Amino acid sequence: MTVDPAIERRLLELLFKKTQQFADAVRMGQLGFLEAVYLCADAARDSGLADGVSDARLQRCIGTAFMGALPKTSPSTTSATTVMAEGGTQT
């Protein structure tokens, strides 16, 4: 489905602003990072907000909104418990 570029831009702006609210909750420790990312992506798809936006643009928008949401730690200091709590796997 092709969407007018002005509408697509407005949809992405709305998604970005809403996603920043989740990123703030992650920064404050109120929500896990992966949980917040999945919630935003699912909400965008379920609401129809993402219908006119490609997956690549959707992911880029969410990723940009979450930049800086995680505390700065080196991979060597991230424990397996933290990784697993976030729903990931340890490498």
Q: Are 35 and 70 in contact (CB under 8 A)?
A: no
How many folded domains does the chain comprise?
1
In a domain, 90, yes or no: no
Domain that holds residue 53: 5-85
Report the pLDDT value the prediction gives residue 72, as an integer from 0 to 100.
Answer: 57
Q: Is the pLDDT of residue 76 over 50?
A: no
Q: Is residue 43 in some structural domain? A: yes
With a pLDDT cut of 90, the percent of the chain lying above it is 35
> Rounded mean pLDDT of 22-42?
92
The single-letter DSSP state of residue 30 is S
* Residue 28 domain-assigned (yes or no): yes
- The verdict on pTM exceeding 0.85 is no
Residues across the chain: 91
Contacts 24+ apart (CB under 8 A), 54-58: 57/8, 57/12, 58/15
* Type of residue at 43: A
On whether residue 35 sits in a domain, the answer given is yes
Report yes or no on 27 lying in a domain.
Answer: yes
Vertex 16 angle, CA 11 and 6, to 5°: 30
91 found inside a domain: no
Please, which pLDDT band fits residue 36 given cuts at 50, 70 and 90? Answer: very high
Instruction: Considering only residues 36 and 90, tell me which one the structure prediction assigns the higher pLDDT.
Output: 36
